[in-house]
Each structure stands twice: as C-alpha cells, then as structure tokens.
Structure 1
Amino acid sequence: MLRHTLIHPQINAILGTAGHHSSILIADGNYPAASKRGPRAELVSLNLMPGVVTCNQVLQAVLSAIPVEAIQTMETETSGPYALDGDPPVWDEYRETIRAAGINVELQPTEKWAFYEAVSTNDHILTIQTADQQRYANILLTVGVRMD
C-alpha cells in the first residue's frame, strides 16, 4: 500500500524510473501534448472532461511522491489575445500547494518557446495531460534528490 497520495499505477511506474534532473510536465487542456514533449517521454491523459482534472490537483499528488528541485511555468504573454496583467491566478494555487508540501522552491516563469525547448529534452520522462482550462497552467517539475 502506498503512503503518498498518488495512486495512479502508470504514473507511479514512470516516476519510479525517474532520477535526478528528470522532468515531468503537468499540462493544461490546451497544451499540444502529442507534439511538444521529449523523445522518450510518456503521455498519460487524465483529461476526463473540461476542468476535470486540474493541473493543481495533479501537482498535489505528484509532490507527495517525488522530491522536486525546480519548477518552471510558461511565462505569460504581455500583448496579444492571451496577454495577462501579472501572474495568472493558477500560479497562486501552485505556490500554496508547493508550500503545503513543504517544498522551498519558487516558480520560474520561462518564455513560451524556451519552455517548449525545456520539455523537448531527453530528460523529459512524463507528460500528464489534464483538462485544466486556466491560461498558463502548464508546469514543469525537475526531480531533485531524496535526502532522507
């Protein structure tokens, strides 16, 4: 019986193979998960219906299972149809979830195309596609080192 809250068998199996510097993308419902991922990354679709499940729900489960040393978000655009003034509301949810998990890591906003490049590396092992409808909800976790 697992002690952490993540119980999805396929995700647990993939995370069990992750090592230091592996990356895991939790993608929102608009992310092009089929084409923007690392060459060895597996895709797990958890998009049941619009809004179910959310990126933050997946983040809570994943943070219960692995150490994380870095967290990147896709930087918001400042002009055009997807522009926002300030951080997207979902980032505050992430900050609270990260604090609640006892992790002392800040979100690192990364320019959109650089974010896609970061996801396209050999270190990217898993994309979890959600049905989150919030803009800029994509979040890329870098696996850290277990210290206990």
Structure 2
Amino acid sequence: MLKNIPPLLGPELLATLRAMGHGDEIVIADANFPAEFLGPQVHRADGISATDLLGAILTVMPLDDFVDQAAIGMAVVGDPHARQPIYDDFQQIITRHEPSMHFSTVERFAFYDRAKKAAAVVQSGETRLYGNILLKKGIIRPKS
C-alpha cells in the first residue's frame, strides 16, 4: 500500500499511467467493450465500476487542458444526442478533479479508432451501457 494512492490502482496500471506522456490517451472500458483484441495493453479490473476507476485515475493523472476534449465517451448508437445516466456520473467525477473540464462524446467507431491508439485499455466490470471513457493526459504544472 502507498499513501495517497487509491488502492484500485494496481502496480501495472500505475506504471502505465506514470509512463504516459502529455497527450497520450487511456481508455476505461465497460464489461462489453472489445478490449482484448483492439491492440493496446489491457489492464483487467473485473468487478470495479468505470466510475470508481475514473475517480481513482483522476486522483493521480491530470487531464489535458490544451485541447477541447480530454474526457470523451462513446455516443449512443442511432441517437448521438441521447444522454445515458452514466454520463452525468462521469461529469460529476471529472468536475470534482478537474473543475474546468467537460465530458463529451464521439461516434462509436470514432471512439474505437481512438481506443486502438491508446496507451492502454482498463477493462472494468461496468455493466451500465456506454460506460466507456477515453482520457487524454495533461501536464503537471510547477507550483508557483
């Protein structure tokens, strides 16, 4: 155990988060997401919700404030303007950690294309539909 590190973040996931640089992306995927054959390294987090993982990851990783979209979900197929309940949960967690950042969505296959290029996919046990979120890593600013 380490101080101030959420216990949901195991050593392999922590190593991935630490190795990522500014602009690199990581995906938190729901239990239905096709993670294993997408390409990036997969960290299994069975039994852990996507929202719990999001909160834990944002405890240690900043979001990229140089881009318009740094926390991106998958839009509802056939109804891109629909709001799934998990989207509001994602936004609340993002706001708690990064008050100026907003959750947005992209079309399903655009999400898959970005996920293929991600540093890793964290496969959660999330059973709520559309419980997927891609995070773009930002920088740690020096304290003044």
TM-score, normalized by the shorter chain, greater than 0.5: yes
2:88 corresponds in structure 1 to 92
Q: Take 2:116 and 2:15, find their aligned partners in 1: how far apart are those partners?
A: 21
Pairing 1:42–2:41 present = yes
The CA deviation string for residues 59-89 of structure 1, in whole angstroms up to 9 with x for no partner, is 00000011112011001123xxxx6872100
Aligned length: 135
After TM superposition, where is structure 1 displaced by more than 3 Å over at least 4 residues in a row? Answer: none
Q: CA deviation at 1:2?
A: 3.8
Q: CA deviation at 1:100?
A: 1.3
The answer for unaligned runs of 5 or more in structure 1 is: none
Residues 22 and 139, structure 2, Cα contact 8 Å, conserved in 1: yes
Tell me which amino acid in the other structure corresponds to 2:5.
Answer: H
Pairing 1:143–2:137 present = yes
In angstroms, what is the RMSD of aligned CA positions?
A: 1.7
2:17 corresponds in structure 1 to 15
Q: CA deviation at 1:145?
A: 1.1
TM-score (norm 2): 0.86
Work out which of the residue numbers 68, 90, 107 in structure 1 matches 2:63: 68
TM-score (norm 1): 0.84
Percent of pairs with identical residues: 24
Tell me which amino acid in the other structure corresponds to 2:77.
Answer: E
Secondary structure of 1:145 counterpart: coil
Residues 63 and 101, structure 1, Cα contact 8 Å, conserved in 2: yes
Q: Take 1:44 and 1:147, find their aligned partners in 2: how far apart are those partners?
A: 28
Tell me which amino acid in the other structure corresponds to 1:110.
Answer: V
Q: Take 2:80 and 2:116, find their aligned partners in 1: how far apart are those partners?
A: 26
The CA deviation string for residues 71-125 of structure 1, in whole angstroms up to 9 with x for no partner, is 11001123xxxx687210001101111111134211121001111111112xx11
Secondary structure of 1:44 counterpart: strand
Q: Take 1:88 and 1:129, find their aligned partners in 2: how far apart are those partners?
A: 19
Q: Take 1:24 and 1:77, find their aligned partners in 2: how far apart are those partners?
A: 22
